[in-house]
């Protein structure tokens, strides 16, 4: 990466039209043409037409280099209209995309923007590699995010299908509905698991956060005998594969539950919840330990000494001085513990009974038997929740870094 603010500016020479911009845009146009022609069974004819159109756009961009925005909009509209005439609204949208990409590509080449981020001395080969590299990275980012989009889109399907209907692709109103959301919010089949998740996760989080914070403070003292061993034990729930934790817990909690029911006369449902909550709390512990010890690294110990000096007892010092400062770490550890429990399915599958069916469990059985796209509505709601959680954690992390005097991101 090069610095652009190094005191002088370099004017990038405009590349030649016929030897560079025109053939390259024609190649891209041919690719689009090949794909579009393939729909009609004429890929090579399509490629030829595409190449001609691409060359035309390159020439146009070269001529109209001053009115970049207007020209691009013109091209996009032209493609949209052509697409609409050829195959309705869905094709029109494809046309918009193709038009936008082609016109952007033509201008990107013609104005010399493709060299903007590389040093002036780069050879054409290096520039090509640089841009290919950016393209690869873009592809990986696409790979990371794209799978989530069809899920959200399909959750508004009017039919009970896991796949797109022609109405959906043509953006007709009758192809869309909120019925899967109504199914999600209106039936016990989904509301009971949601309620269970919302009972289990907060309790599990509370246990792991309260015990975990205390232990993290203990671990961050300067003299802890067997610190490594203790740390290894506390982190182990995160390391051991879930299926093994679930197997072990299955063997251990089933007799424990029977014993509790028989000897303390507890309700079966209550014991079921206790088992799942304890199991999930154990799974959440490592996340709390890791985030809170990390926050304590930057904690200034002289503050507690100062507080003690002024007459505060250890409890007051903890709640009035230490806690407010490490709170961001505690909260983000808590969020990790919450999402661990809220998202957990293997352990609850083995340890819980049907009464403790959680949302992921319901989704899991639904996916195995493929019952209805209500799963997709549930998934969309969960994605929304995770976006909210992610934002919270990011904000907290920045606040914590600011408080610790590290550079704000």
Partner 1 sequence: MSDVTDATTGKAAPTPDDGLRIADSNDGGPVLAADGTPLKKSLSRTLRRQKMRALLLIAPLLIFVLVTFIVPIVSMLLRSVDNTIVPNTLPQTVSVISEWDPTASDLPDEPVYEALYYDLFLASEAKEHTKLGTRLNYEQTGLSSQFRSVGRDLDEIGEDQIDALEDLAEDTWDNEAFWFDLMRGGENAENTDQDVLDRARARLRALTGDAFTGGTGFLPGAEISALLPRTAYEYASFAVFTAIAEEDVVAEEEPWESVKIALIQELQAGADVASYNGFGAEELRAAQDMLADQPQPTFKEAFLEIDQGWGNPQTWKTLYVYKSPYTSGYFLNAADYQLGFDGVEARPENQQIYIKLFMRTLYMSLIITGSCILLGYPVAWILANLPLRTANVLMILVLLPFWTSLLVRTSAWKVLLQQQGVINEILVWLGFVDDANRLILMNNATGTIIAMTHILLPFMILPLYSVMKTIPPSYLRAAKSLGATNVTAFWRVYFPQSVPGIGAGSILVFILSIGYYITPEIVGGTDGVFISNRIAYHISSSLNWGLAAALGTILLVVVLVLYWCYDRIVGIDNVKLGG
For partner 1, which is the closer residue by CB, 71 or 293? 293
| CA distances in angstroms from 156 to 84, 210, 337, 346, 403, listed in the order given | 23, 41, 31, 29, 43
Position 379 contacts partner 1 (CB under 8 A)? yes
H or E, element range at 136: helix 124-145
Rounded Cα gap, residues 116 and 9, in angstroms: 11
Q: From the list 80, 336, 348, 357, which residue makes contact with partner 1 (rule: CB under 8 A)?
A: 336
For partner 1, which is the closer residue by CB, 94 or 103? 94
- What is the chain's alpha carbon radius of gyration, rounded to the nearest angstrom? 30
For partner 1, which is the closer residue by CB, 50 or 212? 212
Q: From the list 239, 303, 323, 371, which residue makes contact with partner 1 (rule: CB under 8 A)?
A: 239
Count the Cβ atoms, other than its own, within 10 Å of residue 276.
27
Provide the minimum distance between the beta carbon of 199 and partner 1 in the complex, in angstroms, as a whole number.
18
Between 109 and 148, how does the x/- string for binding to partner 1 read (CB under 8 A)?
Answer: -----------------x--x---xx-xx--xx-xxx-xx
Part in contact with partner 1 (CB under 8 A); list of ranges 25-33, 178-186, 206-214, 319-327: 206-214
The token duo for 126 is: 């290096």
Provide the minimum distance between the beta carbon of 121 and partner 1 in the complex, in angstroms, as a whole number.
10
Provide the minimum distance between the beta carbon of 65 and partner 1 in the complex, in angstroms, as a whole number.
27
The token duo for 81 is: 């209209």
| Structural contact between residues 346 and 246, judged by C-beta atoms closer than 8 angstroms | yes
Position 397 contacts partner 1 (CB under 8 A)? yes
Provide the minimum distance between the beta carbon of 188 and partner 1 in the complex, in angstroms, as a whole number.
20
Count the Cβ atoms, other than its own, within 10 Å of residue 149.
9
| Structural contact between residues 335 and 291, judged by C-beta atoms closer than 8 angstroms | no
Position 235 contacts partner 1 (CB under 8 A)? yes
| Structural contact between residues 216 and 296, judged by C-beta atoms closer than 8 angstroms | yes
Position 363 contacts partner 1 (CB under 8 A)? yes
Beta bridge partners of 176: 157
Rounded Cα gap, residues 103 and 73, in angstroms: 9
**Contacts (CB under 8 A) with partner 1, residues 263-282:** 278-279, 281-282
Between 44 and 63, how does the x/- string for binding to partner 1 read (CB under 8 A)?
Answer: --------------------
The token duo for 261 is: 């029911």
Position 339 contacts partner 1 (CB under 8 A)? yes
């Amino acid at each position: 990466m090069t610095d652009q603010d190094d005191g002088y500016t370099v004017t990038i020479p405009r590349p030649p039209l016929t030897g560079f911009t025109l053939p390259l845009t024609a190649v891209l146009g041919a690719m689009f043409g090949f794909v579009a022609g393939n729909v009609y069974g004429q890929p090579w004819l399509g490629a030829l037409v595409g190449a001609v159109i691409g060359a035309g756009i390159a020439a146009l961009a070269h001529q109209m280099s001053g009115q970049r925005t207007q020209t691009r909009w013109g091209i996009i509209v032209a493609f949209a209209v052509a697409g609409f005439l050829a195959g309705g609204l869905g094709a029109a949208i494809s046309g918009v995309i193709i038009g936008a990409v082609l016109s952007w590509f033509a201008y990107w080449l013609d104005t010399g923007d493709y060299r903007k981020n590389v040093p002036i001395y780069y050879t054409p080969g290096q520039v090509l590699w640089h841009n290919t590299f950016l393209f690869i990275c873009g592809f990986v980012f696409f790979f990371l995010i794209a799978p989530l989009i069809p899920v959200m889109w399909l959750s508004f399907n009017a039919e009970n299908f896991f796949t797109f209907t022609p109405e959906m692709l043509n953006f007709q109103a009758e192809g869309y509905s909120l019925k899967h959301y109504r199914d999600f919010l209106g039936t016990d089949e989904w509301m009971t698991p949601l309620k269970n998740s919302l009972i289990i996760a907060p309790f599990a989080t509370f246990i792991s956060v309260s015990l975990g914070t205390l232990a993290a403070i203990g671990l961050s003292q300067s003299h802890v005998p067997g610190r490594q061993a203790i740390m290894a034990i506390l982190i182990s729930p995160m390391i051991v594969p879930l299926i093994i934790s679930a197997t072990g817990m299955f063997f251990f909690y089933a007799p424990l539950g029977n014993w509790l029911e028989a000897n303390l006369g507890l309700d079966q449902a209550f014991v079921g919840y206790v088992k799942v909550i304890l199991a999930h709390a154990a799974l959440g512990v490592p996340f709390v330990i890791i985030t809170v010890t990390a926050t304590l690294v930057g904690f200034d110990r002289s503050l507690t000494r100062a507080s003690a000096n002024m007459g505060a007892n250890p409890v007051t010092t903890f709640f009035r001085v230490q806690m407010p400062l490490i709170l961001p770490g505690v909260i983000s550890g808590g969020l990790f513990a919450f999402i661990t429990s809220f998202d957990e399915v293997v352990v609850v599958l083995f340890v819980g009974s049907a009464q403790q069916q959680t949302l992921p469990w319901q989704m899991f059985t639904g996916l195995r038997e493929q019952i209805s796209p209500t799963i997709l509505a549930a998934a969309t709601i969960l994605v929304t929740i995770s976006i909210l959680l992610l934002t919270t954690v990011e904000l907290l992390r920045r606040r914590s870094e600011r408080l610790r005097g590290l550079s704000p991101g």
